[in-house]
Amino acid sequence: MPDPRLAPRALLIDLDGVIYRGRQVLPGAHALFAHLHQHRIPYRLLTNNATLTPRQYQAKLRAMGIRVPATSVLTSAVATAAYLREVAGPGARVLVVGERGLRNALRAAGCVLVDRQADYVVAGLDRTVCYPRLTAACLAIAAGATFIGTNPDPAFPTEEGLWPGAGAIQALLTACTGVRPRVIGKPQPTMLEQALRQLGVAPADALMVGDSLLTDVAGGRAAGVPTALVLTGVTRASDLAAATVRPDHVFRDLAELLAALGARHELLA
Ligand SMILES: [Mg+2]
């Protein structure tokens, strides 16, 4: 059934747990993109994962039969780089704890990556992080460098169980220095606000589609964007009763979201 409240002019869509889980495309994903492209509904794909570049995400999606422009992908790395370009301008000296996706994004934004005398320390997920790098980051923060976190996720799921995430690495730096990072990714509003600016859409006219109450729904709330939760990822239907942040809409999967959305857009067309 179409929901009369559900008529977004643009979509902000999380990737993991919404479009795919691991290498598996989730139900309704292909049809959703076909719908968005057919009706020329603009969208951005928002992921807290800062390890891959937008082009790598584009390739990952293409391998699943989903074609999107690389510019439609906004990672927390790209968002962090855009934020730094805005507040610091080109030439900012940045010490990075993070992987290629983050390093590339910062360089592309005009940041100079340094090992010492940094103005900023940017910390994201780094699966090869070593003690000397963490030490350099702590020393820089203690010396007054601004501490920025790409995304706050403390852990991420793997086939083995939970692995330490960007938030766990930031927590180590905080434990040593007593300084908390300014975080860019969801549930902070910065990344969503950047996406809305790119799309030229007011918060109330967009819809944030995600699988996580704590990041996607809370992020939507922080940015003033209505939210749709899909139950194909980390949040289960049973989690909703006790939830402190509530989504505006709940769908079993993208196929169910599309049924509500599709009818509505046909009506508006
Ligand atoms: Mg997700």
Per-residue pLDDT of the chain (269 residues; tens, 9 = 90+): 456 568 899 999 999 999 999 889 999 999 999 999 999 999 999 999 988 899 999 999 999 999 999 999 999 999 999 999 999 988 999 999 999 989 999 999 999 999 999 999 999 999 999 999 999 999 999 999 999 999 999 998 787 889 999 999 999 999 999 999 999 999 999 999 999 999 999 999 999 999 999 999 999 999 999 999 999 999 999 999 888 999 999 999 999 999 998 766 665 55
**What is residue 92's predicted lDDT score, i.e. its pLDDT?**
96
Element (H, E) at 208: strand 206-210
**What is residue 156's predicted lDDT score, i.e. its pLDDT?**
85
- Domain 10-48+186-268 homologous superfamily, CATH: HAD superfamily/HAD-like (3.40.50.1000)
- What are the residue ranges spanned by the domains of the chain? 10-48+186-268, 88-183
Distance 135 CA to ligand 1 centre (A): 31
Distance 213 CA to ligand 1 centre (A): 9
**What is residue 269's predicted lDDT score, i.e. its pLDDT?**
55
Distance 92 CA to ligand 1 centre (A): 31
Distance 211 CA to ligand 1 centre (A): 5
What is the residue whose two structure tokens read 């790395």?
77
Distance 14 CA to ligand 1 centre (A): 6
Task: Compute CA distances 108 → 90, 133, 150, 176, 269, whole Å.
Answer: 10, 22, 16, 30, 39
Q: Alpha helix locations (H) across 149-227?
A: 166-177, 190-199, 218-223
E strands, 22-127, where?
A: 24-25, 43-47, 73-75, 93-97, 112-113, 120-123
The answer to whether 10-48+186-268 and 88-183 have equal CATH topology is yes
Task: Compute CA distances 154 → 5, 171, 211, 215, whole Å.
Answer: 34, 8, 17, 12
Catalytic positions are 14, 16
Task: Give every CB contact of residue 247 below 8 A, 6+ residues apart in sequence.
Answer: 213, 217, 220, 227, 228, 229
**What is residue 188's predicted lDDT score, i.e. its pLDDT?**
97
Q: How is domain 88-183 classified at the architecture level of CATH?
A: 3-Layer(aba) Sandwich (3.40)
Please tell me the distance from the alpha carbon of residue 144 to that of residue 125, in angstroms, as a whole number. 22
Could you say which DSSP state residue 110 is in? T
What pTM value is reported for the model? 0.91
**What is residue 7's predicted lDDT score, i.e. its pLDDT?**
83
**What is residue 263's predicted lDDT score, i.e. its pLDDT?**
65
